Structures are given as structure tokens and as C-alpha cells.
């Protein structure tokens, strides 16, 4: 698809997620401000994250292009999403194994992910 991805612990391994500092926040905020969009990987651990809601807000305020992508293991269930996440479109896989963006979790209408990210 030709997109660049920022993953904090890969690109900035020096950041200590357990020790939040102003410098850490400024580094992540700077990276996010250069992002054109954000895919919020909603896993069973996402609800415990202190950073993810803030990161979502930073990108949403700058681009208004945020998407929720449920990520789970086969035997894992993700409990219902936090209310504020219901405001965002959801990425899913259709019957042709294509990544699509749905307006909501229960919508039948979808668009190709690549089209939404541009």
C-alpha cells in the first residue's frame, strides 16, 4: 500500500513507557503531528493504555482521520469498546479478504482502507 507506519517502541525505543515525562510526550506528539492518519489497534490491552486515548486525540485534532481496528487472537474476545471509540469508523475485512472502512461496527457500507488513508 506504500504507507509509512510509526510504532513508538520501534522508531523511538529509547522512550520509557513506564516513566512519562514532558520530553516523552513532546516526542510522541511531534511524531503524531506529522501523521496523516491513525489506526487505533484495539486489543484486549488497549483499554488499559494511558497513552492511546491521548494519541487518538492528538491525531484526531490534527487530521480528523482516525480509524479503529479490532485486533485479537483466535481464542480472545474484546469486550465492548469504550464509548468514545464508537465515534470513529471501524476497519474490517470483507468476504474477499480486503481491508475496508465501515462507518460503524454495524454498517454494511464500506470503502477501501487505502482510499480512506489518502
pLDDT tens for residues 51-83?
889 999 999 999 999 999 988 776 656 665 688
- pTM recorded for the entire structure: 0.84
Owning domain of residue 46: 8-117
Asked if residue 13 belongs to a domain, the reply is: yes
Residue 105: pLDDT over 90: no
Distance, CA of 90 to CA of 69 (rounded, Å):
6
How many C-beta atoms surround the C-beta of residue 59 within 10 A?
20
The pLDDT score that the predictor gives to residue 80 is 59
Asked if residue 1 belongs to a domain, the reply is: no
Per DSSP, 61 falls in state H
Q: Which helix (H) or strand (E) holds 101?
A: strand 99-102
Number of domains in the chain: 1
Q: Average pLDDT in the 37-51 region?
A: 87
Q: What is the total residue count of the chain?
A: 118
Asked if residue 2 belongs to a domain, the reply is: no
Asked if residue 26 belongs to a domain, the reply is: yes
Give the three-class secondary structure for 40. strand
Give the three-class secondary structure for 60. helix
Asked if residue 3 belongs to a domain, the reply is: no
Amino acid at each position: 500500500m506504500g504507507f509509512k507506519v510509526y510504532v513508538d517502541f520501534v522508531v523511538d525505543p529509547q522512550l520509557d513507557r513506564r516513566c512519562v515525562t514532558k520530553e516523552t510526550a513532546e516526542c510522541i506528539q511531534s511524531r503524531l503531528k506529522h501523521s496523516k492518519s491513525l489506526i487505533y489497534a484495539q486489543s484486549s490491552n488497549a483499554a488499559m493504555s494511558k497513552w492511546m486515548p491521548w494519541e487518538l486525540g492528538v491525531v484526531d485534532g490534527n487530521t480528523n482521520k482516525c480509524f479503529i481496528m479490532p485486533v485479537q487472537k483466535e481464542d480472545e474476545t474484546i469486550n465492548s469498546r469504550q464509548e468514545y471509540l464508537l465515534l470513529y469508523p471501524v476497519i474490517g475485512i470483507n468476504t474477499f479478504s480486503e481491508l475496508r472502512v465501515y462507518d460503524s461496527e454495524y454498517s454494511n457500507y464500506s470503502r477501501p482502507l487505502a482510499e480512506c488513508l489518502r
